[in-house]
Chains A and B, each alone.
Chain A
Amino acid sequence: MNNLSQSLSASISEDAPNVLPKASAWNAELSLQFGRTARGSVLQRADHRGPLYVQKAFYPEGPDLAQVYLLHPPGGLVSGDRLEITVNTGADSHALLTTPGAGRVYRARPDRALQHQINTLNLSPGSSIEWLPLETILYPDACTRLDTRVNLADNAHFIGWEITSLGLPNRDLPFSDGSLSQTLQINRGERILLRERLQIDEQNRGLLQGSAGLRGKPVTGLMVAGPFDLAMDENTEHSIEPLIQQLRQHAQDCGALAAVSLTGEFLTIRYLGDQTDLAMQLFVRCWHEIRPELLGRAGCEPRIWAT
């Protein structure tokens, strides 16, 4: 499927640069509603438009938490595509979302129509979302905006990550003329708790190579987990510090630049290196440590990660 859309994208950019029919842009939407019932966390609604859907929820760790695979058969975004994913969790329901393969943002057409993905996660009180997609690969000269917004109610928890490959390092193709605006924002009510952005365009292309920026590394990753109740830090028995120590050890052992910090109520883990699989490996290890502390459950990896 990925090869198909790859070749489709190639023929689009090479053969018919200016006169593409509107139909070539795939606007897809998916809206999921999870709710807590007597049977556990149930996927109550899944509405979709365009090639973006889920099949059914899996329950490898019992009825309390639904694992769902987001399927996007085109495999990536071409110019003008817009992908909109909305996930709502009802009170006390728990969902884990992942993807079966890498997301791709292909080389832009000459019109450079935006390749836009919008993820909105709305969490009711007492619920949790784990947003654990595989990496997003940005082809050279892609023109994209990737927005993820997490809206937390009180006592709702979020673990998520973004792994981004700038260009195709395995094929020695750098991000060159591409542009990217990537935002992860977490709100609670009207208050902004965390905003993380990566913007690469004509004005700041220097950060790709810069010593303070991406240091010439093609793969960048960010994992965020929280909120942690920092009042508990007053009580040394429940301090978050031992967890941070463990995460730092994983960061140190990951074979690339990586670091752990606590910003406000959120743990952040960063990766900067050459390989998306190393970033994934680091984040999965950290996820195993964080999950029991934040969500009170042991790590149970989605089966699709093993394939």
Chain B
Amino acid sequence: MAAITTTDTALLRLMQLSSVSLPIGGYAFSQGLEYAIEAGWIKRSDQVAQWLEQQLLYSVAQTDLPILKRTMEAMAQQDHVALLRCNDLALACRETRELRLTDSAMGEAMNRLLVSLGLPQPLPTSGELSYVVLFGIAAQNWQIDYAVAALGFLWSWLENQVAAATKLVPLGQTQAQQLLVELQPLLPQAISRAASVEEDDIGNGLQGLAIASAGHETQYSRLFRS
């Protein structure tokens, strides 16, 4: 096993960037899960696992990760045109108003954080900013490698989604931890799938999830913003 030293600053920064305590409000977005549970599509822990697995392997691996990778490359080369294209593409791939809001609200919060930490953020702040792209900008600023940055990105996504399911299904704390253990092996799998996605093939819609997310816009009683 590779030794991790206490001076491994990139690892520490990755932990900071992926922590649920990062003030970007990730806990506020269920990304359609709240509606799927309300509609009775999801009732049990194993159904949560299936839902998240699909989202992870078919959508996040095909959309968010390839964009994260290209963002970090563009940032390393100070290619601001490519960076803007990543931001446009990330937002353009969001299938509903609330999935787009999830990305842009967290993006805006991440932008404020980068500014207050004194980190460079070259994108114009007049338009919407994508969280995935801002995460990539932060990771590149902190010289974190793409593969570990991707793992941190996925982990914080997974933790937020499982936390949402814990509140909504509801699940016990132990069940939630079991779910995390069960889904962890999918994270490297998602990263390896993302590696082969060509630029033109970025993006993949999940029609069920998109319909759930659109349904959430008019859900009568709701805890989450998406």
Contacts and interface: CB of A to CB of B under 8 A. Distances in A.
Given A204-B58, A211-B41, A263-B100, A192 B85 contact: yes
B17 to A, nearest CB: 26
Place the interface of chain A in its size category.
35 or more
A262 B54 contact: no
A180 to B, nearest CB: 11
A181 B205 CA distance: 11
A214 B204 contact: no
19 contacts: A183-B200, A185-B92, A195-B89, A196-B205, A197-B202, A197-B203, A197-B205, A199-B62, A203-B193, A204-B57, A204-B58, A211-B50, A211-B208, A212-B208, A261-B214, A263-B95, A263-B96, A270-B214, A272-B207
Contacts of A258: 211
A214 B201 contact: no
Interface in B39-67: 41-42, 47, 50-51, 54-55, 57-59, 62
A192 B204 contact: no
A211 B54 contact: yes
B226 to A, nearest CB: 11
B10 to A, nearest CB: 31
Interface in B108-140: none
Given A183-B200, A198-B205, A199-B204, A270 B211 contact: yes
B213 interface: yes
B47 A270 contact: no
Given A198-B207, A206-B54, A259-B215, 4 more contacts: A197-B204, A212-B59, A259-B214, A261-B214
A259 B210 contact: yes
Interface of A: 181, 183, 185-186, 191-199, 203-204, 206-207, 210-215, 220, 248, 257-264, 268, 270, 272
B58 A264 contact: no
For the complex, would chain B's binding face be called helix, strand, loop or mixed by DSSP majority?
A: helix
Contacts, number: 120
B80 interface: no
Contacts of B200: 183
Given A211-B47, A264-B100, A270 B207 contact: yes
B14 interface: no
Contact of B210 (A194, A206, A210, A270): A270
A207 B206 contact: yes
B95 A261 contact: yes
Nearest to A199: B204
10 shortest interchain CB distances as A-B pairs: A259-B214, A261-B96, A197-B203, A261-B214, A212-B54, A212-B209, A259-B211, A210-B54, A195-B92, A192-B92
A199 B205 CA distance: 8
Nearest to A194: B92
Contacts of B97: 261-263
B92 A193 contact: yes
A109 B95 CA distance: 34
Nearest to B50: A211
Contacts of B36: 211-212
A207 B54 contact: yes
A199 B201 contact: yes
Contacts of A193: 88, 92
B7 to A, nearest CB: 39
Contacts of B42: 211
A210 B55 CA distance: 10
Given A206-B54, A213-B58, A220 B93 contact: no
Contacts of A215: 207-208
B13 interface: no
B193 to A, nearest CB: 6
Contact of A196 (B41, B91, B203): B203
Contacts of B58: 204, 206-207, 210, 212-213
Contacts of B88: 191-193
Contacts of B221: none
Nearest to B33: A212
Contacts of B217: 261
Residue from B54, B55, B201 whose CB has the most chain A CB atoms within 10 Å: B54
Contacts of A260: 214
Contacts of A194: 92
B89 A192 contact: yes
A11 B115 CA distance: 65
A179 B59 CA distance: 17
B5 interface: no
B201 A181 contact: yes
B77 interface: no
A186 B208 CA distance: 22
A214 B93 CA distance: 18
